[in-house]
Amino acid sequence: MPIVVVVGGQWGDEGKGRIVDLLARKAKVVARYSAGNNAGHTIVNERGEFKLNLVPAGIFYPEKTCVIGNGVAVDPGVLLGEIEGLQAKGIDTSKLVLSDRAQLVMPWHIALDKLDEASRGATAIGTTGKGIGPCFVDKVARRGIRVADLLRPEDLIPRMKNSLDYANRVITGVYGGEPIDFDSCYQAYHDYGLRLSPYIADVQGVVFDAHRRGEYVLLEGAQGSLLDLDHGTYPFVTSSVPSSSSGGAAIGVGIGPTDIQRVVGVFKSYCTRVGNGPFPTELFDDVAATLRDHGKEFGRGEYGTTTGRPRRIGWLDAVAARYSVRFNGLSALALTRLDVLDNMPTIKICTGYELDGKIISSFPSRESTLERIKPIYEELPGWMTPTTEVRTFDDLPPQARAFIKRVEELLECPVDLISVGPSREQAVIVNPIF
Residues engaged in binding ligand IMO (CB under 6 A): 8, 12-13, 38-41, 125-128, 130, 132-133, 222-224, 227, 238-239, 274-275, 305
Q: Which of 15, 58, 133, 252 binds ligand GDP (CB under 6 A)?
A: 15
416 annotated active-site: no
Q: Which of residues 31-70 bind Mg ion (CB under 5 A)?
A: 40
Nearer to Mg ion, 331 or 336 (CB): 336
Q: Count Cα atoms within 13 angstroms, Cβ side, for 52.
A: 29
**What distance lies between CA 423 and its chain's CA centroid?**
19
Distance CA 228, CA 79 (A): 24
Helix 76-88 × helix 182-196 angle, to 10°: 40
Give the Cβ contact number of residue 420 at 10 Å: 25
Distance CA 128, CA 229 (A): 16
Q: % helix / strand / coil in the chain, to the nearest 5?
A: 40, 20, 40
243 binds, options Mg ion, ligand IMO, ligand GDP, none, Cβ within 5 to 8 A by partner type:
none
Q: Are 414 and 332 in contact (CB under 8 A)?
A: yes
Nearer to Mg ion, 27 or 35 (CB): 35
Q: Which of residues 5-24 bind Mg ion (CB under 5 A)?
A: 13
Which range, of 24-32, 257-265, 312-320, 415-423, touches ligand GDP by CB under 6 A? 415-423
For the CB of residue 8, give the shortest distance to ligand IMO in the complex, in Å. 5
Nearer to ligand GDP, 70 or 419 (CB): 419
Q: Which residues pair with 220 in a beta bridge?
A: 6, 32
DSSP H/E element including 375: strand 374-381
Phi, psi of 30 (to 5 degrees): -125, 125
DSSP 303-363: B-TTT-PBPEEE-EEHHHHHHHHHHHT-SEEEEE-GGGGTT-SEEEEEEEEEETTEEE-S-
Q: Considering the candidates 13, 116, 339, 416, report the single residue annotated as catalytic.
A: 13
Which range, of 27-35, 79-87, 140-148, 420-428, touches ligand GDP by CB under 6 A? 420-428
292 binds ligand GDP (CB under 6 A): no
Which of helix, strand or coil describes residue 401?
helix
Pairing between strand 260-268 and 200-201? unpaired
133 binds, options ligand GDP, Mg ion, ligand IMO, none, Cβ within 5 to 8 A by partner type:
ligand IMO
DSSP H/E element including 286: helix 286-292
For the CB of residue 89, give the shortest distance to ligand GDP in the complex, in Å. 17
Furthest-apart CA pair in the chain: how many Å?
66
Cα–Cα distance list, 42 to 20, 54, 295, 434 (Å)? 10, 12, 14, 22
337 binds ligand GDP (CB under 6 A): yes
Distance CA 24, CA 209 (A): 18
Nearer to Mg ion, 145 or 271 (CB): 271
Which of helix, strand or coil describes residue 219?
strand
Q: Considering the candidates 21, 41, 116, 211, report the single residue annotated as catalytic.
A: 41
274 binds, options ligand GDP, Mg ion, ligand IMO, none, Cβ within 5 to 8 A by partner type:
ligand IMO
For the CB of residue 79, give the shortest distance to ligand GDP in the complex, in Å. 17
9 binds, options ligand IMO, Mg ion, ligand GDP, none, Cβ within 5 to 8 A by partner type:
none
Query: Which amino acid, residue 428?
Result: V
Nearer to ligand GDP, 163 or 305 (CB): 305
For the CB of residue 339, give the shortest distance to ligand GDP in the complex, in Å. 5
For the CB of residue 17, give the shortest distance to Mg ion in the complex, in Å. 7
13 annotated active-site: yes
Which range, of 136-144, 232-240, 275-283, 332-340, touches ligand GDP by CB under 6 A? 332-340
305 binds Mg ion (CB under 5 A): yes
Buried b (16+ CB within 10 A) or exposed e, 226-256: bbbbebbbeebbbbbbbbbbbbbbbbbbbbe
328 binds, options ligand IMO, Mg ion, ligand GDP, none, Cβ within 5 to 8 A by partner type:
none
Nearer to ligand GDP, 42 or 103 (CB): 42
For the CB of residue 16, give the shortest distance to ligand IMO in the complex, in Å. 6
Nearer to ligand GDP, 362 or 392 (CB): 392
107 binds ligand GDP (CB under 6 A): no
How many residues belong to the site for ligand GDP (CB under 6 A)? 23
Cα–Cα distance list, 132 to 114, 267, 306 (Å)? 11, 24, 13
Positions that interact with ligand GDP (CB under 6 A): 8, 12-18, 40-42, 44, 295, 300, 305, 336-337, 339-340, 419-422
Catalytically active residues are: 13, 41
Positions that interact with Mg ion (CB under 5 A): 13, 40, 305
